[in-house]
Chains A and B, each alone.
Chain A
Amino acid sequence: MREWVAILLFAAVCGCETVVDLEVPGGYQSQLVVESKFSPDSLWRVEIGRSAPLKDAAMRNELMISDAMVVILGENNFRDTLRQIAHGVYQTAYGYQPERGTVYRIQVNVDGYPQTAASSQAPPLQSDLLKVERFAIDNSSATESYEIRLRLEDRTGKNYYRLVLFQVAPFCRHDEVLGSRRIGDDPSYTRDYSRLTFQSSSPSFRDYIEAVDDPTVPDFENEFWSAYFSDQLFESTTKEFAITFEADAFEAIGPHFMLVLTAFSDDLFVYERSVTLHDLFVGIPNIIQRNPVKVHTNIQNGLGIFAGYTADTYRFDEDGNEWKEDVLGIGGDELEPCKQQ
């Protein structure tokens, strides 16, 4: 009986969605969009585009801008004018890479738009992988479990981090949601890795970026796809984290893992968080925040983000030994079959 009452109540208040035609104000003024999430592991690379009126059906490629002047400025008179390598994509011609802890400034000039500028840095990061231990969770399963310990030296001030775990997998997963490795804007890794969930009892970890530091939203399951956290509970100290995970088993290749610890710049963290909240607003009725979410930008006279991050990447196999991507053939064709899905 109670089940029926509950089902009836649910049916009574369940939602019904319909498309409505709202009158959107016209006269939209297009703005420059700058996008560069840089790290010391990547070359200087920036995408330049423009925004369009809401009702404009232009796709991403149509909104990219080809004739931009993009300049990166840094300490000690560093100056790099980026060269367009694809439609709307600009990259250093000299192999320059950002340095940890150095503040950089970007200037973008495009005819018909005011000059845009922004500043950021890839924050310093110091961590160590202390331990990798393998154990079986039960004899009936071929699955093996691992425990690893990671040490993090927290810098003074408010810092935000993310921990992600991957396993080399002999198939392609192009959809980021399914786990291919796309860290920040780095497009070079779109294959060969499968993201793993892991467990941790660390009270700092949150599975969702919008829940970091929110004491009213604990992580109920202690299981993480990505663990976002701040240094609120270990400010300026050395902190160890223990995580456990189960590995996938493949015939073609043994267990090879990659643990990535990322330190965000403030702007990048706020941006990522606002994008997540924005996505919660788009397509989902939101009782908590009726008004739309403004995506953070640090671009003067424009939209988008120019912000740095630093990632410490640990590659280890089942015995805790370090391995290298080129030896294993990551990014090449060695890990066949790799078919488009």
Chain B
Amino acid sequence: MISFRSRSLGTHAFFDFLPKKQQKRSAERFPLIVPFFLEQKMTKIEGRNRGLMLGVLFCLQFGTVAAQSVTVSGYVEDMASRERILGASVYIPDLQIGTTTNQYGFYSVTAAPGSYTLSVSHIGYNPLWIRLELAGDTTLTLTLAPRIVGLEDIEVIADRETDLDDVQMSRHEISIEEIETLPVILGEIDIQKTLQLLPSVQSGIEGSSGLYVRGGRADQNLILLDGLPLYNPNHLFGFFSVFNSAAMKRVELIKGGFPARYGGRLSSVISYTMKEGNLKRFAGQGAIGLISSRAMLEGPIVKDRASFLVAGRRTYIDQLLRPFQGGRTRYGAAFYDLNLKANYIISERDRIYLSAYAGQDEFSYKKRSTPAGLGVNSQLNYALGWRNRLASLRWNRLMGDRLFANALIGVMQYRFSSDTYSVDENDSEIIKYDGLWYSEIVDWTAKIDFEYIPNSRHYMRMGAEGVLHRFNPGHTQTKLEESGRPPVNLLQAPTEVINSRETALYIEDEMQLYRALQVTTGIRVSSYAARSVRFASIEPRIGVNVRVAQRTALKSSYARSKQYVHLLTGGGTALPTDLWIPSMDRIPPQIGHQLAVGVLREFRDGRYEVSVEGYLKRMKGHLEYTLGSDRYRSAFLDWPDIVEIGTGTSRGAEIFIQRKRGRLTGWMGYTWARTTRRFASLNGGDPFPDGYDRRHDVSIVMQYQLSNTKQVSAVWVYGSGYPVWVPVGRYFSGFNHLLDLGPVNSARAPAYHRLDVNITFKKQRSWGDRTISIGLYNAYNHKNPMFIYPQNNTSCESLICFQQMSMLQLIPSISWQWKF
């Protein structure tokens, strides 16, 4: 169904559109549909208020004459739920102009008055052609019907806006539906793990949800959930991400050529957008897996006016551990996620959204006992956990046919804590101890973005952003009460609470200078103030797209970025105990420069897309513990004294081949990369390979539609070995047999590869769909290196040898999903 509205007339009409098969070729058969409706409505209005009508017509005519162009704008929506569709192509083939909807589903296309066919398409939806008689500026809400996947190879979109027309390079978008059918470990759908299958995206240790993009570090990803950054998007020490796929609508990854509207991180932008909530009817979905279950419910609060979405996920690892517990001791591990979204259509031009997320991990240990001879009452409660809280209020306003505004206020809290409480009590004395360590960040964000589209060859964005950060990096509070002694209340913090202000202004201008040349230029000006220290930055962003042939485009980009926050990590996987610290005296911001060039070519009418990209990235301001510092303890003590600043360089080449349509879809990615770091006191000041420097990386992802109800998918990944920092010498100190470290990361682990397969069976029931997924992780049971460590063993030929530990071998999984 298409909803149609003329801005000039302020009227609203709906009509059913054609069946799928007739869509493309029959567009010309309906040239008068829109004028027909316009005529009908105009007639009615004319009868009611002739004066108003004349005024409107005057304005319309004046605008047309003045600009010699008219604009059609509005939103693209899902027909079934009225969910706005992001990234949909809106295209006028006759003029070869078009655009894509922005991240709020808004589009605006400007053309000379006339009669045109408008083509609207998006992955997962039946394309739509509509004949428009454009005489004046028009607001048109376009609705797309979800595509029911069948065996037929759907031939669509002959003429459309494609990636060839997009100046933005190094960008990937994967649909949530696609992610949900790929094989996953333990059947737990994880969006971030799917992103790891893209070129130049590393996971760190096997099974982790970590993202290391183009030689960057875990802290250099700007991970946004509905526009607000998340600092630790992981559960279970990084083995699962916090994003519940049931609540997500879209995920976008940008690895280079960052638009000026994004800032504050060096290596990537990963933007998650939550579903808005079905405006038409109640709907839901859920899944039961081996270690967790999830559910989502959405529906209208007021039909076509307001809707909500609530989604939750919880693991039952703690329940699985129960059989191993006994006596007076209890321990557990659990995490949960809760997503909430609501929106309200205030008017045709205004809509507000409320987004919220809460997620928590908790590991607990409780014991009640009576130690021999000491106490009659002894108890110990220990809890270790971390949590993310996030809430934002967003206001979308259409300020004209060509100007769109988005304002957002929000708050984010990330906190890691460890709390030990013990009581020992007997007849003569009592000892109470409470030891709390926590690290916390609270961000208050306010931002406003404007998008102005003067014409179809010109797109402008501008905006401002302000963030108040409150860092509390590593705070220890110890309370001790003992009989006969004054109570101890000890507060320790390497630094006091740091309040800082980050502000940024940006402007982006994307223009089609010539028919085959598109350029986007942008600049981001940011400043950061913490205590008495101020930093400022001017960050130019440039992107160029040259269409060298009908199906071939050359792209290049340059981006300078500045990052005012750092993650101080022990060097292993990203752990919640890692400290987020702000730039301050002695700790300057991180700065990155990235230059990328690439070529994109489509084959077979866009069914295949091949891109080749190369990049060079230089970074400085990396933070690292000094060699020999006690990393285990440093988080709790004086870390400012044991860190040093370094630089990094990363370069690489990527090949990405994607089959977009047909029964068989998927992609193949290959990356060649080299990433080095340099610190004054590490490795004698010489550059050394980064811990996740991987020379060759291959991923092949395939999905094949066996029938309307069955789909198989397979993933094969290969990566040459990660660097390993190995000892080169050994010695005895007393009776301790010790190792003398060699150059940093001078050896290589064996290569990594595995095959995952999955089959899904879908069945329609009276109440909805149910899907059963059966998968195999590491199907040929390859023993991949997860850890490599020296072994002091007499069985080794030379006393010391290296041992590889492999985990996550052949793991079957099954999950049951339902959707109504």
Q: Hey, which bits of chain A sit against chain B, CB under 8 A?
A: 2-3, 5-6, 9, 12-26, 28, 30-31, 33, 35, 37, 47, 49-57, 60, 63, 135, 137, 145, 147, 185, 199-203, 210, 212-216, 218, 220, 222-223, 232-234, 242, 244, 246, 270, 273-275, 277-279, 281-292, 294-296, 303-305
For the complex, give the distance between the alpha carbons of A51 and B726 in Å: 16
Q: Name the residue of chain B whose CB is nearest to the CB of A274.
A: B630
- Given A22-B802, A290-B571, answer yes or no on A6-B740 (Cβ-Cβ < 8 Å): no
Supply 19 further A-B pairs (C-beta < 8 A) apart from A6-B320, A20-B803. A6-B324, A12-B808, A20-B785, A24-B726, A24-B746, A26-B728, A28-B740, A54-B730, A57-B798, A137-B372, A185-B734, A203-B420, A215-B636, A216-B437, A220-B380, A242-B429, A285-B787, A288-B570, A295-B733
**In the complex, chain B residues 449-505 whose Cβ is within 8 Å of any chain A Cβ:** 476, 478, 480, 488, 490
The yes or no answer to B50 lying at the interface (CB within 8 A) is: no
Chain A nearest CB from B454 CB (Å) reads 52
**A63 contacts B791, CB within 8 Å?**
no
The yes or no answer to B595 lying at the interface (CB within 8 A) is: no
Q: Hey, which bits of chain B sit against chain A, CB under 8 A?
A: 186, 205, 237, 290-291, 319-324, 365, 367, 371-375, 378, 380, 382, 384, 418, 420, 422, 424, 429, 431, 433, 435-437, 476, 478, 480, 488, 490, 570-573, 575, 577, 627-628, 630-633, 636-637, 691, 724-743, 746-750, 783, 785-793, 796-812
Residues of A with C-beta under 8 A to B435: 203, 215, 218
Residues of A with C-beta under 8 A to B737: 60
**B732 contacts A54, CB within 8 Å?**
no
**B809 contacts A16, CB within 8 Å?**
yes
Chain B nearest CB from A204 CB (Å) reads 9
Chain A nearest CB from B44 CB (Å) reads 66
Residues of A with C-beta under 8 A to B636: 213-216
**A60 contacts B792, CB within 8 Å?**
no
**B691 contacts A2, CB within 8 Å?**
no
Q: Name the residue of chain A whose CB is nearest to the CB of B736.
A: A275
Determine which of A37, A214, A244, A296 lies in contact with B374 in the assembled complex, contact meaning CB atoms within 8 Å.
Answer: A244
**A2 contacts B323, CB within 8 Å?**
yes
Chain A nearest CB from B814 CB (Å) reads 11
Chain A nearest CB from B198 CB (Å) reads 24
Q: Name the residue of chain B whose CB is nearest to the CB of A271.
A: B733
For the complex, give the distance between the alpha carbons of A244 and B426 in Å: 13
Q: Name the residue of chain A whose CB is nearest to the CB of B208.
A: A287
Chain B nearest CB from A68 CB (Å) reads 15
**B372 contacts A203, CB within 8 Å?**
no
- Given A15-B806, A17-B804, A215-B418, answer yes or no on A283-B373 (Cβ-Cβ < 8 Å): no
- Given A5-B290, A283-B793, answer yes or no on A47-B734 (Cβ-Cβ < 8 Å): yes
Residues of B with C-beta under 8 A to A49: 731-732
Q: Which of B237, B378, B806 has the most chain A CB within a 10 Å cutoff? A: B806
For the complex, give the distance between the alpha carbons of A274 and B237 in Å: 24
**B726 contacts A22, CB within 8 Å?**
yes
Residues of B with C-beta under 8 A to A22: 724, 726, 747-749, 788, 802
For the complex, give the distance between the alpha carbons of A137 and B373 in Å: 6
User: What are 11 inter-chain pairs, A to B, with CB distance below 8 A?
Assistant: A9-B186, A18-B803, A50-B731, A60-B732, A213-B633, A214-B632, A220-B380, A277-B630, A285-B803, A292-B790, A303-B740
**B732 contacts A19, CB within 8 Å?**
no
Residues of A with C-beta under 8 A to B804: 17-20
**A201 contacts B790, CB within 8 Å?**
no
**A287 contacts B437, CB within 8 Å?**
no
- Given A54-B730, A232-B478, A283-B791, answer yes or no on A288-B632 (Cβ-Cβ < 8 Å): yes
Chain A nearest CB from B386 CB (Å) reads 12
For the complex, give the distance between the alpha carbons of A19 and B795 in Å: 11
Chain B nearest CB from A155 CB (Å) reads 18
Residues of A with C-beta under 8 A to B806: 15-18
**B319 contacts A54, CB within 8 Å?**
no
- Given A16-B809, A18-B803, A303-B731, answer yes or no on A55-B798 (Cβ-Cβ < 8 Å): yes
For the complex, give the distance between the alpha carbons of A246 and B734 in Å: 32
**A244 contacts B373, CB within 8 Å?**
yes
For the complex, give the distance between the alpha carbons of A226 and B810 in Å: 42
Residues of B with C-beta under 8 A to A281: 789-790
**B371 contacts A222, CB within 8 Å?**
yes
- A-B pairs, top 5 by smallest CB distance, nearest first, are A285-B787, A201-B424, A51-B731, A203-B433, A216-B418
For the complex, give the distance between the alpha carbons of A275 and B433 in Å: 30
For the complex, give the distance between the alpha carbons of A33 and B374 in Å: 46
For the complex, give the distance between the alpha carbons of A291 and B636 in Å: 20
Residues of A with C-beta under 8 A to B732: 33, 35, 49, 60, 63
Determine which of A51, A201, A202, A289 lies in contact with B632 in the assembled complex, contact meaning CB atoms within 8 Å.
Answer: A289
Residues of A with C-beta under 8 A to B429: 242
**B431 contacts A203, CB within 8 Å?**
yes
Residues of A with C-beta under 8 A to B805: 15-17, 285
**A53 contacts B793, CB within 8 Å?**
no
**B809 contacts A215, CB within 8 Å?**
no
**A199 contacts B374, CB within 8 Å?**
yes
For the complex, give the distance between the alpha carbons of A218 and B424 in Å: 15
Residues of A with C-beta under 8 A to B802: 19-22
Q: Name the residue of chain B whose CB is nearest to the CB of A275.
A: B736
**B746 contacts A290, CB within 8 Å?**
no
Chain B nearest CB from A140 CB (Å) reads 14
**B488 contacts A233, CB within 8 Å?**
yes
For the complex, give the distance between the alpha carbons of A12 and B207 in Å: 13
Q: Name the residue of chain A whose CB is nearest to the CB of B784.
A: A16
Determine which of B735, B739, B783 lies in contact with A54 in the assembled complex, contact meaning CB atoms within 8 Å.
Answer: B739
**B373 contacts A203, CB within 8 Å?**
no
Residues of B with C-beta under 8 A to A52: 729-731
For the complex, give the distance between the alpha carbons of A279 and B743 in Å: 20
Residues of A with C-beta under 8 A to B733: 33, 35, 275, 295, 303-305
**A292 contacts B290, CB within 8 Å?**
no
Residues of B with C-beta under 8 A to A210: 632-633
Determine which of A17, A28, A285, A292 lies in contact with B729 in the assembled complex, contact meaning CB atoms within 8 Å.
Answer: A28
**B740 contacts A292, CB within 8 Å?**
no
For the complex, give the distance between the alpha carbons of A286 and B732 in Å: 23
For the complex, give the distance between the alpha carbons of A18 and B788 in Å: 10
**A282 contacts B637, CB within 8 Å?**
no
**A218 contacts B811, CB within 8 Å?**
no
Residues of B with C-beta under 8 A to A216: 384, 418, 437, 577, 636
Residues of B with C-beta under 8 A to A21: 802
For the complex, give the distance between the alpha carbons of A196 and B375 in Å: 20
Residues of A with C-beta under 8 A to B725: 291-292
**B371 contacts A290, CB within 8 Å?**
no
Chain A nearest CB from B68 CB (Å) reads 64
**B630 contacts A199, CB within 8 Å?**
no
For the complex, give the distance between the alpha carbons of A217 and B324 in Å: 22
**A201 contacts B691, CB within 8 Å?**
no
**B382 contacts A33, CB within 8 Å?**
no
Determine which of A14, A18, A145, A289 lies in contact with B807 in the assembled complex, contact meaning CB atoms within 8 Å.
Answer: A14
**A9 contacts B726, CB within 8 Å?**
no
For the complex, give the distance between the alpha carbons of A199 and B796 in Å: 40
For the complex, give the distance between the alpha carbons of A274 and B807 in Å: 27
Determine which of A57, A214, A283 lies in contact with B790 in the assembled complex, contact meaning CB atoms within 8 Å.
Answer: A283
For the complex, give the distance between the alpha carbons of A18 and B738 in Å: 22
Chain B nearest CB from A4 CB (Å) reads 9
**A288 contacts B726, CB within 8 Å?**
no
Residues of A with C-beta under 8 A to B803: 17-20, 283, 285
**A287 contacts B739, CB within 8 Å?**
no
For the complex, give the distance between the alpha carbons of A51 and B736 in Å: 12
For the complex, give the distance between the alpha carbons of A51 and B737 in Å: 10
- Given A218-B380, A288-B572, A290-B573, answer yes or no on A233-B490 (Cβ-Cβ < 8 Å): yes
Q: Which of B730, B810, B812 has the most chain A CB within a 10 Å cutoff? A: B730
Determine which of B373, B420, B630 lies in contact with A270 in the assembled complex, contact meaning CB atoms within 8 Å.
Answer: B630
Determine which of A26, A244, A285 lies in contact with B789 in the assembled complex, contact meaning CB atoms within 8 Å.
Answer: A285
**A2 contacts B738, CB within 8 Å?**
no
For the complex, give the distance between the alpha carbons of A24 and B798 in Å: 13
Residues of B with C-beta under 8 A to A50: 731
Residues of A with C-beta under 8 A to B322: 2
